[in-house]
Structure 1
């Protein structure tokens, strides 16, 4: 039975990370105010939220499977206090930190209409910290981290997020976001 839980934990962790990558990319695109290819801004936003929610659900499945797997030696306390786990405490601790950040970011997404924009954005910016922590957790603690296919997924994910991050920092992105903000406020750029 432990093999089943281990397989579920591995698979759900990888799927969660891929969905988190997609969510981060879609969030960067949505924040730009531009449509991307055939995707409207509404569709981008809907996909961003859907990927985020699915990532959280798969992360929850990952954690539940690890708790059920006696070989993994993960305990409830490990979900709250990072870096004290029995197996690779540093890498497991990154998973705990990532999980807690994921919950905070997801909760702000769900409560967006009830939070001030600065609070929402401030907490939501933790996504830029959450994602590399999740990647590092997978590389340091993942059973498949040494597999070529896993490394290819990781390298492609890093390249995509790096490209999106560079694009976000370009003047073109900033100019477009500024123009959108000015238009929203009723001024001309």
Structure 2
């Protein structure tokens, strides 16, 4: 899609809906911590025992979902700029899916972090969850990369709502952070995720990284040819 076409598209989700989505993720995490043990006594041993694991499982699962959504958003974004989306599912539809996937990834990432407040093995606190590199008890460097990645993802997500005011050029520069975010979150998952050693999860990371790299290289190649064509037409 061309810059003019992007400027004509509004944010796919209202800012109030985004706030509601993030609040719902936070509320879901707190409900899981406070309410589920009483509603589902069969899980009480796992949720309230001396070493509850259910919160850790919920964090791991939501983290993988968040990563999958981030990957989907990256793929759709590269399909848009690489003009592949014109073939399927169409530019405007791909743009909306791109936004929704990014914002849902943001919400699942928030749940991924907050649910750890119920875990007693590492004993995360709100400060350690939200202050990068403050997780002194568990791989602080790689956890910190994930925390920084979340803040940058929030910045990119919010940029959808101010694009008309900051202009396409500035919005696009902010959007370039997405590549760094993807690398940071991938490193966070590989180096701090307890599932990273499993074959299925490793394959997931390899496929995700490979597809993003392949689409990025394709985007770079067509940009080179497009610039050459423009230069020839100007001669």
- Structure 2 length as normaliser, TM-score? 0.70
Unaligned 5+ residue runs, structure 2?
1-46
Farther-moved stretch of structure 1 (52-61 vs 80-89): 80-89
Task: Say if 2:100 is the partner of 1:50.
Answer: yes
Distance 1:39 1:154 in 2: 25
Residue of structure 1 aligned with 2:125, choices 75, 79, 82 = 75
Distance 1:152 1:77 in 2: 33
Residue of structure 2 aligned with 1:167, choices 199, 213, 218 = 218
- Structure 1 length as normaliser, TM-score? 0.86
Aligned length: 181
Farther-moved stretch of structure 1 (119-128 vs 17-26): 119-128
Structure showing greater radius of gyration is 2
Aligned-pair Cα RMSD in Å: 2.2
SS in 2 for 1:162: helix
In the TM superposition, 1:107-122 aligns within 5 A as 107-122=158-173
Q: Give per-residue Cα distances to partners, 1:95-132, cap 9 Å, x unaligned.
A: 11111111111111232223222321121111010001
Deviation at 1:137, TM superposition (A): 0.3
Residue of structure 1 aligned with 2:176, choices 112, 118, 125 = 125
Deviation at 1:175, TM superposition (A): 4.5
Distance 2:213 2:91 in 1: 21
Deviation at 1:174, TM superposition (A): 4.7
Farther-moved stretch of structure 1 (54-63 vs 80-89): 80-89
Unaligned 5+ residue runs, structure 1?
183-187
Residue of structure 2 aligned with 1:87, choices 138, 141, 146 = 138
Match in the other structure for 2:36? none
Contact 1:109 1:124 in 2 (8 A): no
